[in-house]
């Protein structure tokens, strides 16, 4: 089978810095026509967005999709909550994990896959300040080691 072409629209670059990623899920999005057209222009922002489970359905909040500039009428609200399309067993699994202390759902990546808009949803646990410092320290040490190895 031929692999589906993937075109990345937006990424949440700060997510890996601010959170420990526990698990990832791929979900579809229920969108209007002007939202899809705006996404094809690459006009989306995942910053500060998050997901919640409400009445057995998953919704993503604060996902900014800019209004489509060429729409004559009936343009969409840029920050409206959008429904995520997941299987029932995935939602039940997520619900159990999200209720644990300190876990939340955030989108990592928004992309087109085979003509459909998909989102990678991550189950995350927040990093403390000392965790971030530790990661920076490890990265600097690795950089120094690589530099030494190169000059050796």
Domain ranges of the chain: 6-127
Mean pLDDT of the residues in the chain:
85
6-127 CATH choice from 3.40.640.10, 2.30.130.10, 3.40.50.720, 2.40.280.10: 2.40.280.10
Provide the percentage of residues in the chain whose pLDDT is more than 70.
Answer: 97
Distance, in Å, from the CA atom of 135 to the CA atom of 140, rounded to the nearest integer, reads: 9
Q: Across 14-18, 70-74, 79-83, which has the greatest mean pLDDT?
A: 79-83
**CA trace torsion 10, 14, 76, 24 (10° rounding):** 70
- As a whole number of angstroms, the distance between CA 101 and CA 149 comes to 43
Q: Are strands 44-45 and 103-113 parallel, antiparallel or unpaired?
A: unpaired
**Model confidence pLDDT, tens digit, residues 31-65:** 888 888 888 888 888 888 888 888 888 899 998 88
Report how far apart, in Å, the C-alpha atoms of 150 and of each of 14, 84, 137, 141, 143 are: 30, 47, 20, 14, 11
Residue-wise pLDDT tens digits, 18-31: 888 888 889 999 88
């Amino acid at each position: 089978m031929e692999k589906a072409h993937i075109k990345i629209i937006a990424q949440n670059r700060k997510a890996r810095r601010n959170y420990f990623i526990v698990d990832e899920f791929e979900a579809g999005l229920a969108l209007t026509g002007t939202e899809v057209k705006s996404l094809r222009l690459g006009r989306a922002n995942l910053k500060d967005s998050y997901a919640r489970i409400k009445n057995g359905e998953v919704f993503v909040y604060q996902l900014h999709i800019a209004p489509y500039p060429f729409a004559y009428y009936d343009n969409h609200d840029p920050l409206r909550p959008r429904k995520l399309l997941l299987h029932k067993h995935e939602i039940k699994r997520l619900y159990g994990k999200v209720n644990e202390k300190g876990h939340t759902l955030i989108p990592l990546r928004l992309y087109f896959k085979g003509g459909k808009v998909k989102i990678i949803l991550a189950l995350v646990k927040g990093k403390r300040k000392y965790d971030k410092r530790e990661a920076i320290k490890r990265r600097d040490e690795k950089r120094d080691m690589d530099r030494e190895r190169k000059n050796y």
